[in-house]
A = this chain, B = another copy of it.
């Protein structure tokens, strides 16, 4: 069993920080309980180093998708260093926020106005506030994962199962006011009739918020029908592109499908590892923001928009969405080939740039844990999902698949009864995570 300074520090963290980390998806238990390196000292390209100075190739979540250009991209970091030299904050505003607003609107000609925040949860809450203020109605139909705030978790008040397919199974919305019950109404992706029924039965419905794509893409006509329903019923259509933005095209994924929302949000990748999120929208909707109160000190930071401007320049120059999509397609091919060789029935889901696999097997979580355990020994961070970055080159993919092959072979032998997975696991099984994989 590998343990090091990281696991020592994590023991301390669990006493000081409820949950141990700030993000559920970065909990060591999600990967390899008691063995995951947990903390980093340095990250660069598609590599990182733990607290013991050990190097790892990151073939996992790449900062949960924040670093399409890889960790520590020179041009983005240079823009941030200039901000540090000239001041991140002042009594006056930073001009970069206006330039970034202009840039995002030019990439999305249907949009006219922009607000910025620092986290995806905030961007989601701002979009909902604006949509409710613009429509004058409180109910929202949702499809997908939209953060931790009250407005969203309220969907689970009552039976506690509404968000099972969107977030986590059985999530108890403890601490969310019960008065919010029935304000948020989930529908399943590609199930247009579920949305129609929500619209029919809820006259106070003012908005639809959804992810453009989930584990699967849209069925033919699905997004167009959602758009039509929104238009016909005077509902604000919001696309949450915090995760999907800039993965498959230069901007929101909705550009690929030719369906335009009234509001879209971007997060994660926009600043290549520096905190910045954006809410863009049509003027007639966005102007409702002025009739309510949406304001926060740290939304005025200069690092965020400066990093985003440099990130967009570099993405555009590299056509990064093509690189990471090609990487993802190669990765899928590799998984499929190994599964075919070892007679494992594999499910592969997600956008190519955020691709994940699973086996429909009773011992799946044990196998997933075993993959992480064995890859870690080889200096590779891996689970069953890969957020691709432009620094993932053919030699990294080769290294990953060379190490993955004997692991798939062992899993196959376990399934055939030749080996027992319990005998080869060196620690506890990982926790199950988000239902959404992309």
Contact = CB atoms under 8 A, between A and B. Distances in A.
A302 B9 CA distance: 16
Interface in A79-99: 80-81, 84-95, 97-98
Nearest to A63: B89
**For the complex formed by this chain, how many copies does it contain in all?**
2
Contact of A16 (B17, B84, B114): B114
Interface string A1-43: 0000010010011011111011111100000000001111111
A259 to B, nearest CB: 24
Contacts of A132: 174-177
A384 interface: no
Interface centre among A85, A87, A114 (most CB of B within 10 A): A87
A18 B148 contact: no
B42 A147 contact: no
Interface centre among A97, A167, A177 (most CB of B within 10 A): A177
Contact of A38 (B38, B84, B92, B277): B92
Interface in A361-377: none
B17 A114 contact: yes
A288 B128 CA distance: 26
A378 interface: no
Contact of A26 (B9, B300, B303, B381): B300
A38 B98 CA distance: 12
Contact of A119 (B129, B268, B299): B299
Interface of A: 6, 9, 12-13, 15-19, 21-26, 37-44, 48, 50-51, 58, 60-67, 71-72, 77, 80-81, 84-95, 97-98, 101-102, 105, 112-122, 125, 128-134, 138, 147-151, 153, 167-168, 171-181, 183, 267-268, 273-275, 277, 286-301, 303, 381
A175 B139 CA distance: 10
Given A71-B87, A84-B81, A115-B22, A151 B150 contact: yes
B293 A92 contact: no
A291 B90 contact: no
Interface centre among A80, A128, A294 (most CB of B within 10 A): A294
Closest 7 CB pairs of A and B: A133-B175, A43-B87, A22-B299, A89-B273, A18-B289, A132-B175, A275-B298
Contacts of A115: 17-18, 22
Contacts of A133: 174-175
Nearest to A92: B40
A38 B93 contact: yes
Contacts of A93: 13, 21-22, 26, 38-40
Given A105-B16, A178-B138, A292 B173 contact: yes
Contacts of A183: 177, 179
A48 B87 contact: yes
A281 to B, nearest CB: 9
Nearest to A72: B87
A113 to B, nearest CB: 6
Given A17-B114, A40-B92, 18 more contacts: A12-B98, A12-B102, A23-B299, A23-B300, A39-B92, A43-B92, A44-B87, A63-B300, A80-B84, A119-B119, A119-B122, A133-B174, A138-B178, A148-B293, A174-B292, A180-B180, A275-B275, A277-B298
Contacts of A289: 18-19
Contacts of A67: 89-90
Interface centre among A92, A112, A288 (most CB of B within 10 A): A92
Nearest to A42: B86
Given A17-B114, A129-B175, A179-B183, A95 B51 contact: yes
